[in-house]
Structure 1
Amino acid sequence: MNEYVNLAYDYPLLGAFWTVLWIVLWVSWFILLFRVIADIFRDDTLSGWAKTGWLFFTILLPFLGVFVYVLARGRSMGSRERRHLQAQQEALDHYIRETAGGTGRKSEADELMKLSEIRARGDITDEEFRRAKEKILH
Structure 2
Amino acid sequence: MKPQQPVKKSNKKLYIIIGLVILLPIILVSVITFAIIGGVLVGSKSTYEYKCAIIEVKKNEKAIEMLGEPMEESFYILPNIEIKNSRREVNFSTSLSGPKGSGTLRVSSFRDPFRSDFMMQLEVDDDKEVLYKGRYPCED
User: Larger Rg: 1 or 2?
Assistant: 1
More strand by proportion, 1 or 2? 2
TM-score above 0.5: no
Could you say which structure has the higher helix fraction?
A: 1
TM-score band w.r.t. shorter chain: 0.3 to 0.5
Q: TM-score normalized by structure 1?
A: 0.34
What TM-score do the two structures reach when normalised by structure 2?
0.33
